[in-house]
Amino acid sequence: MKQMMLRLNVFKSEVFDAGFTRAMGYTSYSAASIGECFYAADFIKKHGETFAAWVAGWKETAMRAEELAVGFERDGNPAAAGRAYLRAWNYYRAAEFAVMPQGSQEQAGLYRDSIRCFDKGLEHAPFYSEKIAILYETTTLPGYFFKANAHDGAPRATVVLNGGGDGAGEEMFFIGGGPQALAYGFNLLVFHGPGQRGALHQDPNLYFRHDWEKVLGPVLDYCQARPDVDMARLGVYGISLGGFLVPRAAAFDKRIKAVAVNAILPNYFKHWMDEALEQVPGIFSGIFASRWKPFRKPSGTSCWIRWPGSGMMLALSFH
């Protein structure tokens, strides 16, 4: 991943650099402003480049953009309002992404703020959008259905965008080239499957699952029930982890007529093993350091330590 990622070196942290590039990447869709992004970066750097500073910086930038959007609406400028709302969505999203701990009320509030702005931005968009709920087991999965014209009821070729481990359906609309797809005459569906952000905010027990055909199946059922979807021309685009999940689903569900994948990583298992092995030495050195002082002995002696929370005993020799 590090070899594939272009560092802008705005921050010392690779994680912050990646998040900054991600947020600024929506500029071409009017969902980010380079100036506003650097305003957030300056705030974060002045406040210590911590996760708390990251959240606060993007939140303040989002609030400024939303305030602009409200003003544009009041002045009768819907196009400018729509763009400002989309920027606010993106900045709230960037803030929400880094809230610690995950699952907190603060994170849930920022997610609601981001969705509110996304929905307001779509109200002013030049295409048709519909917020949908897809039946899934005993609950529903949130999503959106898009088409170029609200009054066009003809069955059209349709693309389902399937995000990855850390993406959101709203984000997939831009990452997957949604505006271009609509311009080319396609319908588009984005959704949050179990384990993805919108589904987890709806129900934290909606975990990821390997048998993704059980997830895409209900999505395709929804498509099949719509008269404006041509099921003979239905494709699924899997991005990031979705690039691994979608081919498996297509192997089980023949309603998928075309598959495109952008998985980046040729071996997902190896990626996580490499990441784990890279992080483990630092994690364990910190744990040992925190427990070293109470058991410090003179050189040449040894002692046994029971590892907290387990039955494991460690023998330490002091030299």
Pair 243, 176: CB distance under 8 Å: no
Q: What is the amino acid identity at position 236?
A: V
> What are the residue numbers of the active site?
240
Write out the DSSP string of 60-109: HHHHHHHHHHHHHHHTT-HHHHHHHHHHHHHHHHHHHHT-SSTT-HHHHH
Residue 11 φ then ψ, to 5°: -120, 165
| Cα 62 from Cα 88, distance rounded (Å) | 4
Residue 188 φ then ψ, to 5°: -145, 140
| Cα 263 from Cα 163, distance rounded (Å) | 10
Closest CA to 182 of 221, 222, 126: 126
Closest CA to 59 of 23, 96, 22: 96
103: left (phi over 0), alpha (psi -120 to 50) or beta: left
| Cα 17 from Cα 57, distance rounded (Å) | 14
Beta pairing class for 229-239 and 302-306: unpaired
The pair of three-digit structure tokens given for residue 123, joined into one six-digit string: 């109200």
CA 180 to chain centre: 21
Pair 147, 223: CB distance under 8 Å: no
| 12, 175, 177, 216 from 189: Cα distances, Å | 37, 13, 12, 12
Closest CA to 114 of 66, 176, 73: 66
